[in-house]
Amino acid sequence: MFMAVVYYNTSRFIPDFAQEELQLLYVCQANEEQTRLPTLFHSHDYLEIQYISKGSGRISVGERVYEVKAGDLILYNKGVMHNEVANPEEGMCFYNCGIEGMKRKSLPSGTVVPHRFIPVIHLGDLAPQVESLFSVMWHQLDKGERGSATSCHYLLYALLTILIRQTNLEPMEAPDEKEQAFMEVKQYIDEHYTETFRMEDLANNVHMSMSTLNHQFKKRMGMSPVQYIIRCRIGKAQGILISSDRSITDVSADVGYDNLSYFNNQFKKLIGMSPQSYRKYRVGDNQYKQLNKIMANFGKTGIYV
């Protein structure tokens, strides 16, 4: 009978973050049916990691757009605007998890990869290991067995350690003058999209005509600045709808729409169903009226699970 022994290497790798500070907020498993509904632009006040287990799609992270497929891992730093769109021909399945307490040396809290590096990692031979860790965490939490929180804490630590130790991050190309101007405009929009402002003023601030700004924005994001603002607002609304039981009128006002009818029309146009139907679909008929109570125990808002 063949047997193999692998000995422990005493030259240990010591991660540059504290294990005791980590807090796993949630683990999500999404299948093809769930990813048919688009998740529009949104950000979190914590770190999020996503693993594509099947299919392919397109994601936007910050100012860049990436094509992703099974075996890819995406790192969403705290506060970074992002969205995911599945390939309509084959769909997409993924795991993701939210993490608080990630504090790497020389990086801001909630940051796992410096902004100048590409946040998409092609895992290769590491993919089965990473998928297994996500799967075990999800099943542990889904069953709610005694000790599952402790198990998931150490599984999360293992996941982050593997990623930081064995992945090579690819640096982004330095932005040229036009891209730098685009990034400034997008950053302003990301910080103020629920407010009213003039696009002409933004264009003037970066010394661009409106036609040039629209061209540069569409070239990089696949849409005009106005279309991007709408998607940011609806994306924020998606998060509020599944993490609170605020009225649809209040949600509309929260994301910058005084006209409820217009908000409902925009939401249905982009998501494929009304805000109320979306809320019921995502959280179920039995929970959507008591989301504030549920999320009070969780302590977070704007979470996509």
Q: What is the pLDDT of residues 125-180, one digit of tens each?
A: 999 999 999 999 999 988 887 889 899 999 999 999 988 876 666 777 777 788 88
Note the pLDDT of residue 302.
39
- Is the confidence at residue 16, as pLDDT, over 90? no
Classify residue 145 by its DSSP letter: -
Segment among 1-10, 18-27, 38-47, 105-114 with least mean pLDDT: 1-10
Q: Thinking of the domain 19-166, which architecture would CATH place it in?
A: Sandwich (2.60)
Rounded (10°) angle between helices 210-221 and 177-192:
80
Note the pLDDT of residue 288.
55
- Is the confidence at residue 190, as pLDDT, over 80? yes
**Bigger pLDDT: 233 vs 89:** 233
* pTM, rounded to two decimals: 0.83
Please, which pLDDT band fits residue 4 given cuts at 50, 70 and 90?
confident
Per DSSP, the three-state class of 162 is helix
Note the pLDDT of residue 119.
92
Domain layout of the chain by residue ranges: 19-166, 177-298
Q: Measured in whole angstroms, how far is the alpha carbon of residue 25 from the centre of its chain?
A: 14
- Is the confidence at residue 17, as pLDDT, over 60? yes
Phi, psi (deg, nearest 5) at residue 285: -65, -30
Q: Among 77, 81, 82, 80, which residue's Cα sits nearest to residue 110? A: 77
CATH number corresponding to 177-298 = 1.10.10.60
- Is the confidence at residue 221, as pLDDT, over 50? yes
- Fill in the amino acid letter for 69: K
Report the pLDDT averaged over residues 238-258: 92
Segment among 118-127, 175-184, 232-241 with least mean pLDDT: 175-184
Q: Among 22, 301, 305, 270, which residue's Cα sits nearest to residue 153? A: 22
**Bigger pLDDT: 212 vs 294:** 212
Please, which pLDDT band fits residue 33 given cuts at 50, 70 and 90?
confident
**Mean pLDDT taken over the chain:** 87
Note the pLDDT of residue 116.
82
Percent of the chain with pLDDT over 70: 89
